[in-house]
C-alpha cells in the first residue's frame, strides 16, 4: 500500500466522530455545497458547544440553525453570497452579512494581524483521491483549496458524484485531518422522467446523461436551470 493511501485510510471516520474534534469557541467556515452529514452531526452537538461562529457562503442546507424558534450556540455570518436558504435568518437580523471578494477572502488571515479571527475549522466536500492521492472539489471549487490550506482543522466528506474538473485545482490527502465516506442517494427513473419533461427537446439528450449523477438532496438545484432553459 502506498504511503498516502495508508495515511488516508487512517483518516477515514464517521461524521459524528469527525465533528467531535470541534471545540467551543471555534470559527467554522462552511463553503457552498458543504456535506449535509457533517452539518447534521455538528447540529447534533449544539447542546455540547458554546460560542461557535459559522461563516457561510451560499448555504444549501439548514439542519436547524436558520430557524427562528430554536436556541443554539451558533453565531451566523454570511460572506459574499447569502442565498435563498439563509435569507430569512438574515432578514430577521439573526445573521450578519460580511461583504467581501473571493480574491480578498483570506487577506486578513495572511496578513497575520493581531486579533485576526482565523478559519479554525473547514467543512468541505471533495472527490475520492486519484492514484496519486489528490482530490478536487468539483465544479464549485471557489475558495475551498485556499481555505483548507489555512484552516487548523479540515474535515471533508468524499462525494463520488462530483464532476471531474481540470487545471491546478487539486489538494493532497495529507492536507486533510479527517475524511467521511458519503452515502449518496442517486435519483430514480421517475424523478428523471419528470425533470426531462420540462426541458426543450433539443436539450434532453444532454440533460438525460447529466441528471442521474445528481444526488437526491441536490435535485432541487436543477429547477432554476430548467427555468432558465424553458421559462
Per-residue pLDDT at 29:
94
- Same-domain status, 135 and 218: no
Cα 50 to Cα 65: distance, rounded to the nearest angstrom: 14
Residue % of the chain over a pLDDT of 70: 75
Say yes or no: 11 and 32 in one domain: yes
**Higher per-residue confidence, 111 vs 143:** 143
Give 95: exposed, middle or buried? Use CB within 10 Å, 0-12, 13-18, 19+.
Answer: buried
pLDDT at 214 over 60: no
Burial class (CB in 10 A: 0-12, 13-18, 19+), 183: exposed
Do residue 160 and residue 196 come from a single domain? no
The cell for 70 is 430554536
Shared domain for 121 and 137, answered yes or no, is yes
User: Per-residue pLDDT tens for 3-48?
Assistant: 899 999 999 999 999 999 999 999 999 998 888 899 999 999 999 9
Q: Same domain for 148 and 221?
A: no
pTM metric for this prediction: 0.77
Query: Are residues 138 and 202 located together in one domain of the fold?
Result: no
**169 and 65 in one domain?**
yes
Q: How many domains does the chain have?
A: 2
Query: How confident is the model over 51-87, as pLDDT tens digits?
Result: 999 999 999 889 999 998 888 999 999 998 898 888 8
Residue-number span of the structural domain to which 202 is assigned = 189-229
Residues 71, 74, 79, 82, CA torsion sign: negative
Alpha-carbon gap, residue 156 to 173, rounded angstroms = 10
Q: How far is CA 115 from CA 23, 28, 89, 120, in A?
A: 19, 17, 27, 14
Domain co-membership, 157 together with 65: yes
Amino acid at each position: 500500500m502506498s504511503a498516502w493511501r495508508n495515511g488516508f485510510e487512517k483518516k477515514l471516520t464517521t461524521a459524528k466522530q469527525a465533528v467531535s474534534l470541534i471545540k467551543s469557541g471555534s470559527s467554522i467556515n462552511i463553503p457552498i455545497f458543504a456535506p449535509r452529514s457533517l452539518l447534521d452531526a455538528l447540529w447534533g452537538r449544539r447542546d455540547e458547544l458554546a460560542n461557535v461562529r459559522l461563516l457561510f457562503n451560499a448555504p444549501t442546507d439548514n439542519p436547524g440553525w436558520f430557524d427562528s424558534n430554536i436556541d443554539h450556540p451558533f453565531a451566523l455570518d454570511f460572506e459574499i453570497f447569502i442565498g435563498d436558504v439563509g435569507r430569512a435568518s438574515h432578514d430577521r437580523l439573526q445573521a450578519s452579512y460580511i461583504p467581501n471578494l473571493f480574491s480578498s477572502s483570506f487577506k486578513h488571515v495572511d496578513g497575520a494581524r493581531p486579533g485576526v479571527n482565523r478559519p479554525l475549522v473547514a467543512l468541505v466536500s471533495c472527490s475520492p483521491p486519484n492514484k496519486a492521492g489528490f482530490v478536487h472539489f468539483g465544479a464549485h471549487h471557489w475558495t475551498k483549496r485556499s481555505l483548507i490550506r489555512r484552516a487548523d482543522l479540515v474535515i471533508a466528506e468524499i462525494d463520488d458524484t462530483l464532476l471531474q474538473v481540470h487545471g491546478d485545482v487539486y489538494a493532497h490527502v495529507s492536507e486533510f485531518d479527517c475524511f467521511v465516506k458519503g452515502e449518496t442517494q442517486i435519483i430514480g427513473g421517475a424523478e428523471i422522467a419528470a425533470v426531462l419533461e420540462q426541458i426543450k427537446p433539443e436539450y434532453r439528450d444532454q440533460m438525460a446523461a447529466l441528471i442521474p449523477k445528481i444526488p437526491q438532496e441536490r435535485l432541487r438545484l436543477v429547477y432554476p436551470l430548467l427555468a432558465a432553459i424553458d421559462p
